Amino acid sequence: MDYTWDLSVLYRDFDDPKIESDFAALKQKCAQLQAMCRQAAQQDPDPLSTLEALCDGMEDIHSWMEPLSSFASLTLATEATNERAQQLMDRLEAFSVEISLLSSGITRYIGGLPDLEAMIRQSDKLKKVDFYLRQNREEAAHLMDPAIEEWMLRMSITGSSAFSTLRDKLDATLLVDYRGKQLPLSAVRAMAYDPDPQVRKDAYEAELAAYTKIEIPMAACLNGIKGEALTMIDAQHFSSVLDQTLFYSNMDRETLDAMLTAMDESLPAFRRYMRKKGQLLGHENGLPFYDLFAPLSPEGFTPRRYTIEEARDKLLTEMGKFTPEMAAFIDGAFRDRWIDVFPREGKGGGAFCAGLHTLDQSRVLTNFDGSFSDVSTLAHELGHAWHNRCMASLPSVMTDAPMPLAETASIFNETVLAHAMLDSAPQQERFTILEGLLSDANQTIVDIYSRYLFESAVIDQRKDRTLPAKELKALMLDAQEKTYGDGLDPDCRHPYMWACKSHYYIPGLAFYNFPYAFGQLFSAGVYAIYRREGASFVPRYNQLLRSCGSMKVYDVARSVGIDVRDPDFWRASLRGYTEKVDEFIALADELMPQSKS
C-alpha cells in the first residue's frame, strides 16, 4: 500500500489547465459578489433576495477556493521547496485580499440589515445558515475602517503571512547533525520516543544545537507575527489579542477562566507523575525534557512497536468497538490514500488533518515512527477527519468549528483508543498504556498551559519592543518553571519550544494552545457520558460534532448536559487524570519495587 497521500482528486499536477479555469471562475464570482454588495449599499429594493444570493455566492467561492488552496498547501506540507506549489500559494494569498474584502462587505451588509431575524424566519435558505448570519451581525462591530482595510490586508501578505511561510521552510529544511549524520528535524524529534535513553539524550542535544542556526530568523518571524496581531486588534476594535481569539472562538472569558483555574489546581498531580517517571528512569532532580516521552515499562516487558499496518488494524478494531461506521471510515481513509504517513526530508514535522469539504474527504499528515503515541496520533487526526464527515452535508459556512471545539473529536478518539486498550490489558501492558496516556495528558494540560503563559508574556512585552531569541528562550523557561515546576529537571528543559511549535506562527490566529486543553478535558466529560450510556450515545455524539460550527461553545456543551462555565466540570475531568497518576505510581511500586522512594 502507498503511504503517501493522493492529491490527484484535486488536480493532476501543477500543469493541469483546470487550475487556471478554477482560478478564473473564482475571480469572476468574487467580482460579481463585490459588485452586488456595492449596488446593495446604494439601492436595495429586495434585501431578502440579495442576502440569499450573497449566501449562495459564498458557497460558490468556497467550492473554487478550497481545491486551489488545498493543492498548494498540502503539496508544500510534504515538499517544502516545491516552487510551483509556492507560486500558486503566493497567487492565492495575493487574491485572498479580495476575498477578505468581499467577506467584510457581506458582513457590513448583514450588520446594517434592520431586522435580520425576520428575514431568517421568512427564508428556508437563510434558516440553513442562521448561525453564520448572526455571527456576521456581531462581527460587524469589529470590522476595520474601509479606508484602510485593503492596505492592511495587502501588507499582511508581506508581513505575517511571509513570516509564517519562512518559519515553515526553516523548520522543514533544517538538517540536524546527529551522530555525524545530517537528518531532518522531524526525524530527530521523533527520537524522543526511542527506547534507547542515549538516543533520546543525543537527539535532544543535537536538536537544541541545531536551533542555534535558525534562532535569529525564527525570533524575527515570531516578533513580526505578534507585532502585526497587536496592530490588528486596534484596527478591529478589540481590547486585547486574547479577547479577539475568544470572540472568533465563540467562547467567553468565563469559560476560559474556569478551565485555567482547574488546570492550575491540577499541576501538583502531574508533577508527581513526572517525578515518579524520572525516578523510574534513574533521575533524581525531576524528569529531563528529553525523557518526557520516553517509553516506560516493567523489567522484562518490551513496549510494543507498531508497523503502520498493525497501527491501522488496531484502529479498526478499537474504534470499531465505539461504532462500526468509524472503523469503515478509517479503513477507507487508508485505502483511498488520505494519509501521508512517514517522515522524510522536506516534509513538515508534527501532524494535522485538512478537510476537503467539497469532496467529503480529508487529508492527514503524520510522521509515524512506530510508538503507541504515533498510533494515538493517527487516531487523533482521523478524529478530525470524522468530525469533517459529520459536517459534510452542511453549507460550508456552517462547518467552521471554533478552535476549542475543533479538538473535540480528535482527543475523543485518543481517549476511546486508550481506554479500550486499558480495559482489556494485562497488568504490565496496562502500566505501559497508562503511562502513555498520562504522557499525552501531561502535554495537553501542563505543556499547553506553559504555551499559554509564554504567548501571553510575549504579546504583553511585544507591545513595547521586539524580543531577541535570548529573551524568548528565557520566557519559555519561565513558563516551564511555572507549569512543570519540580516535575522537570531545572537544568534540562527546552528553551526552544517557541521555535518548534508552528501554532505560534499562524497569521491572524493567536493562542492556538488552550483549545487543546479544552478538547482534552471537554472530551473527557463527553467520554464519561459515553461510558454511562454506551452505544445509544453515538448518535448524540455525532450530532454534537455536527453542531460545532452552528452554535456558541457554551450552547454546544449544554446540548449534552455540560456546563463549561463551572470550574467543577473541569475539576471532574481533571480528577480522572489525578486518579490515573495514583494508579500509575501504585503500579510502578508493585511492578518495579526497586523504584520505591
Let me know if 110 is exposed, middle or buried by CB neighbors in 10 A (0-12, 13-18, 19+): buried
Cα 126 to Cα 223: distance, rounded to the nearest angstrom? 42
Q: What is the pLDDT of residue 594?
A: 61
Q: How confident is the model at residue 595 (pLDDT cuts 50, 70, 90)?
A: low
Helix (H) or strand (E) holding 15: none
3-state DSSP helix/strand/coil percent for the chain, to nearest 5?
Answer: 70, 5, 25
Please write the tens of the pLDDT for every residue from 151-171.
Answer: 888 888 889 999 999 999 999
Please write the tens of the pLDDT for every residue from 118-136.
Answer: 999 999 999 999 999 999 9
Q: Under the phi-then-psi rule, with left for phi > 0, alpha for psi from -120 to 50, and beta for the rest, what region is 305? A: beta
Kindly list the structural domains of the chain, giving each domain's residue range(s) and its CATH number in brackets, ordered by start.
Answer: 17-158 (1.20.140.70), 171-293+431-505 (no CATH), 308-422+514-595 (no CATH)
322 near 159, Cβ under 8 Å? Answer: no
Task: Indicate if the alpha-carbon torsion angle 255, 540, 352, 402 is positive or negative.
Answer: negative
Query: What is each CA distance from 21 to 16, 68, 355, 463, in whole angstroms?
Result: 10, 11, 22, 44
Return the bridge partners of 182, or none: 177
pTM of the model: 0.86
491 near 499, Cβ under 8 Å? Answer: no
Q: 488: helix, coil or strand?
A: strand
Per-residue cell: 546: 455536527
Terminal-to-terminal C-alpha distance of the chain: 49
Per-residue cell: 567: 470550574
Mean pLDDT of 210-214: 97
Q: What is the pLDDT of residue 151?
A: 87
Q: What is the pLDDT of residue 512?
A: 93
Q: Does residue 261 carry a pLDDT above 80?
A: yes
Q: What is the pLDDT of residue 596?
A: 57
**How high is the mean pLDDT of the chain?**
94
Mean pLDDT of 56-81: 96
Cα 340 to Cα 367: distance, rounded to the nearest angstrom? 8
